[in-house]
Amino acid sequence: MKNVLVTGGAGFIGSNFVRYLLEVDQQVQIVNLDALTYAGSLENLKDLPDADRHTFVQGDICDRDLVRALLQKHQIDTIVHFAAESHVDRSILSPEPFIQANVIGTFTLLESARQYWMVEKSMPIEQVRFHHVSTDEVYGTLSPEDPAFSETTPYAPNSPYAASKASSDHLARSYNHTYQLPVTISNCSNNYGPRQFPEKLIPLIILNALTGKPLPVYGDGQQIRDWLYVTDHCEAIHLILTQGKSGETYNIGGNNQPANLTIVETVCDLLDELQPQTDPHRNLIKFVTDRPGHDRRYAMNISKIENELGWKPRHNLSDGLLDTAQWILANPSWVAAIQKQREYQTWLTKNYETREKSS
């Protein structure tokens, strides 16, 4: 792994991975391709370690000519594919961008890699790797008594977002099976941590609480998710790249499944300690109309990556939430830059403020 193309590297998980890879691998050169849509920001790439080994390119993963030119110019031997539309609520309101980015974009990258690595024989095939980053949402939903998702759980996506990611997973798997393109896939649970765009639950709750705004909780708040600290996720991906087997899929999770309401209440209690106020932050909680087709429970069985690669999450939930809140408090310039985005403010109004109060 010498020359790595990271797609979506100005987004939340992608930018954290760029930072992680520059720290742990002193030889790697990174080309970062990001379209800088609403969730990607150059703010996420400030103060990178050894920034001379990082090249940023603004562009679309669906632009095949651009992708091929980058592969050839930088002699890319590894692709780590984060770029995706990833918010379920947005996919419900407007599914087309999810099909374009997640399905067509993934196909464009796979086909470009196949042409460059296999047809043009640019480098030995045993020295290249395409890693596709996916989600636990492709598996659908679990009832309270169901076992956790494993790598062999049948796909049953329930939102346009999840369906688009399931489609991209199938494409990646097919390129390995049909063409023997060296592909690995990881399906992760809900990520959280520094630099997460604040349309997602945890940063939204932290920022709203700090400014005295309502803390919206969908339905009864008893939806269950597995929460994964972002740097733990980055470490897992690095292990898959360096030690994982081509053709394999690995589930990555945080080994915890609290209800969403528990997450919100925990964040409120943390902020009561970090930023004490007269009224407890829990008083800001507001139950709002649930998301259509909202999956009730996700849980991840991570025994495969534990047993085969020796990975397990380093952060427990309380420590990770504390680190996240402290990072947001310590980085007001990042917060200000994100909150200035007109599109972000429009989205908050459209998705939260106009929801009718849940009965």
Are 200 and 71 in a shared domain?
no
Mean pLDDT of 336-343: 76
- 274: CATH: 3.90.25.10
Are 284 and 178 in the same domain? no
Contact 16, 195 (CB under 8 A): yes
Predicted pLDDT at 350: 65
Same domain, 200 and 92: no
The pLDDT-based confidence of 357 (bands split at 50, 70, 90) is: very low
Q: Provide the pLDDT for residue 198.
A: 86
Q: Same structural domain for residues 217 and 159?
A: no
In the numeric block, which tokens belong to residue 269? 């209690």
- Among candidate residues 25, 34, 136, 169, the one labeled active-site is 136
DSSP 209-243: HHTT--EEEETTS--B--EEEHHHHHHHHHHHHHH
Burial bucket for residue 178 (CB in 10 Å: 0-12, 13-18, 19+): exposed
**Residues 303 and 359 grouped into a single domain:** no
Any catalytic annotation for residue 137? yes
pLDDT category of residue 343 using cuts at 50, 70 and 90: low
Identify the active-site residue in 34, 60, 137, 199.
Answer: 137
pTM, two decimals, is 0.94
Domains contained in the chain, number: 2
CATH number, residue 36: 3.40.50.720
Across-strand partners of 186?
133, 250
Secondary structure (3-state) at 34: strand
Which runs of consecutive H residues, i.e. helices, occur in 105-159?
Answer: 105-114
CA pair distance 152, 8, nearest whole angstrom? 27
Same domain, yes or no: 132 and 271? no
Q: pLDDT tens for residues 168-199?
A: 999 999 999 999 999 999 999 999 999 998 88
Q: Where in 136-236 does DSSP place strands (E)?
A: 183-188, 190-192, 215-218, 227-229
For residue 308, pLDDT beyond 50: yes
Query: Are the C-beta atoms of 296 and 223 separated by less than 8 Å?
Result: yes
Q: Tokens for 71?
A: 């592969």
What is the band of 340 on the pLDDT scale with cuts at 50, 70, 90? confident
Rounded Cα–Cα distance for residues 167 and 103 (Å): 6
Give residue 124's pLDDT.
96
CA dist., res. 119 & res. 179, Å (int): 10
The mean pLDDT value of the chain amounts to 93
152: pLDDT strictly greater than 60: yes
- 277 and 302 housed in the same domain: no
Which residues does 339 contact at the CB level (< 8 Å), separation at least 6? 198, 207, 345
Q: Determine the longest span between alpha carbons in the chain, in angstroms.
A: 67
- Residue numbers of the domain that contains 341: 195-224+258-293+317-348+355-359
**161 and 217 both lie in a single domain:** no
- Both tokens assigned to 112: 């470009």
pLDDT category of residue 165 using cuts at 50, 70 and 90: very high
Please list, in sequence order, all residues whose beta carbon lies within 8 angstroms of the beta carbon of residue 340, skipping any fewer than 6 positions away: none
Catalytic residue among 20, 161, 192, 352: 161
Mean pLDDT of 45-69: 97
Asked if pLDDT for residue 163 goes beyond 50, the answer is: yes
Assess whether 335 and 308 both reside in one domain: no
More confident residue, 84 or 268: 268
User: What's the whole-number mean pLDDT along residues 34-40?
Assistant: 89
Strand partners, 227: 190
Whether 38 is a known active-site residue: answer no
Task: Determine the Cα–Cα distance for residues 102 and 170; give it in Å rounded to an integer.
Answer: 12
With contact defined as beta carbons under 8 Å apart, do 198 and 254 qualify?
no
| pLDDT tens-digit readout, 272-304 | 999 998 899 999 999 998 878 788 999 999 999
Q: Sign of torsion, CA 118 99 167 6?
A: positive
Residue 117 shares a structural domain with residue 183? yes
- 158 & 143 share domain: yes
DSSP for 136-174, written as a single string: GGGG----TTSPPB-TTSPP---SHHHHHHHHHHHHHHH
Do residue 23 and residue 121 come from a single domain? yes
Residue 319 main-chain phi, psi, to 5 deg: -65, -40
SS3 label, residue 60: coil
C-alpha 121/C-alpha 123 separation (Å) is: 6
Looking at residue 181, its amino acid is L
> How many C-beta atoms surround the C-beta of residue 311 within 10 A?
22
Q: Cα–Cα distance between 135 and 254 in angstroms, integer?
A: 13
CA distances to 7, 24, 98 from 230, rounded to whole Å, are 17, 15, 22
Instruction: Read off the pLDDT of residues 127-136 as tens digits, 9 standing for 90 and up.
Output: 999 999 999 9
pLDDT digits (tens, 9 = 90+) for 65-114: 999 999 999 999 999 999 988 777 788 888 898 999 999 999 999 999 99
- Alpha carbon 189 to its chain centroid, in Å, reads 9
Q: Which of 28, 34, 18 is nearest to 70 (CA)?
A: 34
Residue entry with tokens 């780590």: 80
| 232 labelled catalytic | no
